[in-house]
Amino acid sequence: MARSTLSRTVPGELALIAAIRRQATFARSSEVRPGIGDDCAVLRPKPGHEVCVTTDFTLERVHFRREWHPPESVGHRCLARGLSDLAAMGAEPLGVFLSLALPARLPAAWPERFLDGFLALAGNHRVPLAGGDTAQSPSISKQHEGLIAADIVAVGQIPRGKALLRSGARPGDLIYVTGALGGAAAELAALAKNPRKFSKLTDAVPGHPHLYPEPRLAVGRRLRGLANAMIDVSDSLSTDLTHLCEESRVSALLEQAALPIHPLAAGSDDPLTLALNGGEDYELLFTAPAAARIPHVLAGVPIHRIGTVARPKRRQPPILMKTRDGRRVPITPGGWEHFQ
Amino acid sequence: MARSTLSRTVPGELALIAAIRRQATFARSSEVRPGIGDDCAVLRPKPGHEVCVTTDFTLERVHFRREWHPPESVGHRCLARGLSDLAAMGAEPLGVFLSLALPARLPAAWPERFLDGFLALAGNHRVPLAGGDTAQSPSISKQHEGLIAADIVAVGQIPRGKALLRSGARPGDLIYVTGALGGAAAELAALAKNPRKFSKLTDAVPGHPHLYPEPRLAVGRRLRGLANAMIDVSDSLSTDLTHLCEESRVSALLEQAALPIHPLAAGSDDPLTLALNGGEDYELLFTAPAAARIPHVLAGVPIHRIGTVARPKRRQPPILMKTRDGRRVPITPGGWEHFQ
């Protein structure tokens, strides 16, 4: 861990370092020596395992707003993004690294509460916070303070050759998704309307898919050897299924009637759009051969079959959806809103 | 690699992804499957090896100024920080990950030139750019654009148990440093006075320790089994030697006459202060038993013996320096300037 040369008085730096040190007893397992007090953390993957690495920004006004999101939610979501990427490979986490840039005048409670949310999720999944970096976010002018920026690095391990890639889908496969879709987008819309209603949600109680999404690590691991291809639904079903089709060079036929709509989305004006184009549900989207025995529930999470994989078709978008009235409509990658 | 949901039109995102794809042929070795087009990159360490991970921010106005630093230098320095941390463990690089947040109105040439500098250094050390993340840096107001922020993650491998930690120094060890000290601080001072003079330095020609520091990877690897403890000089000799003494619970006696002063610092008003307190030289500072045969030159880099390790002393700072006139003066961790 290289500390920024300027960051001696950054609020939250000491909190971050203290948090890593607190975790050290737990983390100083056979697999991880945390990076605090050394230039690098040292991770020891099991013999015969490969290492998966993913990195994701969490930027104020892009991925969250300080006026809307409880700091615990920002910490939780920051880590959930990284863990969800590991889940989508079928990997188990070895350690995570947190880089955090904080404005000089940020009250100390913010990074402390951010870390509470971050570490609660890390503890649930027994993932050590193995290192990171801290810096002072530069102010733009006397009137304009800097913004909060975090970067999460998640490192996992998986038996050699067992990683579930996006490129493994084959024509004839069935398409599945975990949990339910559209809930995060529905909750975000409610949050934007009335942030005060959500300001006390400082614990990751279930049923808050935007504020406290649950990375599907256990499901991901149990799909090794069952699924052919996998991706997490971070952008949206329409966008992420397009990625999977492109990497696998296949097309997909969704069935509208089979899409699992999250209860929060079901009560909205347009549940289908939220399910198709809402982002950040962090469910797992995967394909498996028709002969594979995919349970209806895996690690306590419902699994829904939502379509089939077909050969790629010329002059046709990679995704069609069979509507309830039997038509086939093209599905294009859907947009997603931001917080600017 | 999870792309930010908002970042469809970020300048440089396509350049970054194209750069990763360009590297894919070279990187798709037995050791690395790049993360582009999948949720994670998959790295395959050699059997019996541990994995070293480090992460470092590079923030505009903290670590560089757009008016001062050629973009190639910013890219080079961003990667050099991460590789230097691997060097300080004695590790060899497996892959690096780059997260890059760019303001919306940044001319496309900036990220392209940043990547040129980044990839030139990566190529020199045969390190694949295995993945990363991109996002749009949020603007603060109509008048104030967002700032550039990069986070580098460097992943390396080292035979199990061979990592050179900061905690291994023992009383009686000798203290060594590679290369020369104070050059980066001297060049930074010159850059601040006359940025235009340096604006054409877009290639990593030797002799520019601030703009184009050279991570000492080859030296670090060859010190495995010779050195007891190691750290890179990123903050400053006084600060980093203090870290090493604290982690090893020892004290140090430096010899002023033995300190290798960089030619750029030698011509300044206060060469000693630059050598002791100037940061970002990215040389390796290490200790070895007196009986160890440390060559005068290793992998083409001069090695200087600069002091000795002693038992910790109560009520005394961990570092003393024997001056040219034979006095012993305490050395405290030196400051470092920033670019705000």
With beta carbons under 8 A apart, name residues in chain A contacting B338. 5-6
Average pLDDT over residues B141-165: 91
Distance in angstroms (rounded) separating the CA atoms of residues A234 and B4? 9
A104 or B319, higher pLDDT: B319
Nearest CB to B4: which of A52, A62, A166?
A: A62
B37 and A151 within 8 Å at the Cβ level: the answer is no
Q: Is B32 helix (H, G, I), strand (E, B) or coil?
A: strand
ipTM given for this complex: 0.88
User: Which pLDDT does position A132 carry in this prediction?
Assistant: 85
Residue (of A122, A94, A24) closest to B52 by Cα position: A94
Task: Return the structure tokens found at A151.
Answer: 């970067």
Confidence of residue B23 (pLDDT cuts 50, 70, 90): low
User: Which pLDDT does position A179 carry in this prediction?
Assistant: 97
In this predicted structure, the answer to whether residue B86 has a pLDDT above a threshold of 80 is yes
Bridge partners (DSSP) of residue A54 are A154
Class for the domain spanning B166-330: alpha beta
B89 and A144 within 8 Å at the Cβ level: the answer is no
Please, which residues have CB within 8 angstroms of residue B150's CB and are 6 or more apart in sequence? B57, B58, B59, B74, B78, B98, B99, B100, B101, B114
Which pLDDT tens digit goes with each residue over A39-80?
899 999 999 999 999 999 999 998 999 999 999 999 999 999
Angle in degrees, CA A247, A249, A254, rounded to 5: 95
Confidence of residue B145 (pLDDT cuts 50, 70, 90): confident
User: Which pLDDT does position B7 carry in this prediction?
Assistant: 35
In this predicted structure, the answer to whether residue B340 has a pLDDT above a threshold of 60 is no
Please, which residues have CB within 8 angstroms of residue A175's CB and are 6 or more apart in sequence? A241, A252, A254, A285, A286, A287, A305, A306, A307, A308, A309
With beta carbons under 8 A apart, name residues in chain A contacting B139. 340
State whether the Cα torsion A287-A155-A278-A214 is positive or negative.
positive
User: Which pLDDT does position B135 carry in this prediction?
Assistant: 86
Average pLDDT over residues B124-130: 92
Q: What is the DSSP letter of B75?
A: H
H/E run at residue B114: helix B109-124
User: Which pLDDT does position A12 carry in this prediction?
Assistant: 58
In this predicted structure, the answer to whether residue A163 has a pLDDT above a threshold of 70 is yes
User: Which pLDDT does position A36 carry in this prediction?
Assistant: 66
From B340, which residue of chain A is nearest by alpha-carbon distance?
A138
B4 and A57 within 8 Å at the Cβ level: the answer is yes
In this predicted structure, the answer to whether residue B9 has a pLDDT above a threshold of 50 is no
Average pLDDT over residues B209-220: 97
Q: What value does the mean pLDDT of chain A take?
A: 89
Alpha-carbon separation of residue A146 from A72, A136, B53, B141 (angstroms): 20, 8, 28, 11
A38 and B149 within 8 Å at the Cβ level: the answer is no
With beta carbons under 8 A apart, name residues in chain A contacting B50. 42-44
Conformational region of residue B183, where left means phi above 0, alpha means psi within -120 to 50, and beta covers everything else: alpha
* CB atoms closer than 10 angstroms to residue B209: 27
A54 and B43 within 8 Å at the Cβ level: the answer is no
CA distance A168 to chain B (A): 11
Q: Report how far apart the first and last C-alpha atoms of chain A are (Å, whole number).
A: 32
Confidence of residue A7 (pLDDT cuts 50, 70, 90): very low
Note the Cα B57 to chain centre separation in Å.
11
State whether the Cα torsion B281-B283-B288-B294 is positive or negative.
negative
Chain A interface test: which of B30, B38, B277 (most A C-beta within 10 Å) = B38
User: Which pLDDT does position A340 carry in this prediction?
Assistant: 42
* CATH number belonging to the domain at A7-159, selected among 3.20.20.70, 3.30.1330.10, 3.30.310.80, 3.40.109.10: 3.30.1330.10
Class for the domain spanning A166-331: alpha beta
CA distance B106 to chain A (A): 16
Average pLDDT over residues B279-287: 96
With beta carbons under 8 A apart, name residues in chain B contacting A235. 3, 5
Chain A interface test: which of B20, B31, B39 (most A C-beta within 10 Å) = B39
In this predicted structure, the answer to whether residue A216 has a pLDDT above a threshold of 60 is yes
Bridge partners (DSSP) of residue A136 are A102
From B30, which residue of chain A is nearest by alpha-carbon distance?
A50
Distance in angstroms (rounded) separating the CA atoms of residues A241 and A248? 10
A167 and B38 within 8 Å at the Cβ level: the answer is yes
pLDDT above 90 covers a percentage of chain A that reads: 74
**Relative orientation angle of helices B109-124 and B13-27, to the nearest 10 degrees:** 20
Confidence of residue A5 (pLDDT cuts 50, 70, 90): very low
Q: What is the DSSP letter of A326?
A: S
In this predicted structure, the answer to whether residue A236 has a pLDDT above a threshold of 50 is yes
In this predicted structure, the answer to whether residue A1 has a pLDDT above a threshold of 50 is no
User: Which pLDDT does position B337 carry in this prediction?
Assistant: 43
Bridge partners (DSSP) of residue B215 are none
B301 or B107, higher pLDDT: B301
Q: What value does the mean pLDDT of chain B take?
A: 89
Bridge partners (DSSP) of residue B232 are B284
Task: Return the structure tokens found at B220.
Answer: 């670090």
Average pLDDT over residues A253-269: 96
B141 and A136 within 8 Å at the Cβ level: the answer is no
Min mean pLDDT across A142-151, A223-232, B2-11, B157-166 is at: B2-11
Average pLDDT over residues A185-191: 95
Confidence of residue A170 (pLDDT cuts 50, 70, 90): very high
Q: Half-sphere exposure of B46 toward its Cβ, with a 13 Å CA cutoff?
A: 11
Chain B interface test: which of A57, A67, A239 (most B C-beta within 10 Å) = A57
A55 and B133 within 8 Å at the Cβ level: the answer is yes
Q: Half-sphere exposure of B44 toward its Cβ, with a 13 Å CA cutoff?
A: 14
With beta carbons under 8 A apart, name residues in chain B contacting A281. none
From B337, which residue of chain A is nearest by alpha-carbon distance?
A6
In this predicted structure, the answer to whether residue A202 has a pLDDT above a threshold of 60 is yes
B56 and A99 within 8 Å at the Cβ level: the answer is yes
Average pLDDT over residues B53-67: 93
In this predicted structure, the answer to whether residue A287 has a pLDDT above a threshold of 70 is yes
User: Which pLDDT does position A31 carry in this prediction?
Assistant: 74
In this predicted structure, the answer to whether residue A264 has a pLDDT above a threshold of 60 is yes
| Every domain of chain A and the residues it spans | 7-159, 166-331
Q: Is A291 helix (H, G, I), strand (E, B) or coil?
A: coil
CA distance B326 to chain A (A): 32
CA distance A87 to chain B (A): 9
Please state the φ and ψ torsions of residue A82, each to the nearest 5 degrees: -70, -45
Exposure string for B238-271, b = 16+ CB within 10 A, e = fewer: bbbbbbbbebbebbbbbebeebbbbebbeebeeb
B62 and A6 within 8 Å at the Cβ level: the answer is yes
Chain A interface test: which of B49, B51, B223 (most A C-beta within 10 Å) = B51
Nearest CB to B279: which of A5, A91, A153?
A: A5
Average pLDDT over residues B261-284: 95
Nearest CB to A86: which of B40, B139, B243?
A: B40
Please, which residues have CB within 8 angstroms of residue A192's CB and are 6 or more apart in sequence? A68
In this predicted structure, the answer to whether residue A263 has a pLDDT above a threshold of 60 is yes
Which pLDDT tens digit goes with each residue over A127-142?
999 988 888 888 877 7
Distance in angstroms (rounded) separating the CA atoms of residues A285 and A228? 11
Nearest CB to A53: which of B97, B146, B340?
A: B97
With beta carbons under 8 A apart, name residues in chain A contacting B146. 147
Average pLDDT over residues A103-113: 89
Cβ burial, residue B159 (10 Å; 0-12/13-18/19+) = middle
- Which stretches of A125-250 are DSSP H helices? 183-193, 195-198, 217-222, 237-248
With beta carbons under 8 A apart, name residues in chain B contacting A86. 39-40
In this predicted structure, the answer to whether residue B1 has a pLDDT above a threshold of 50 is no
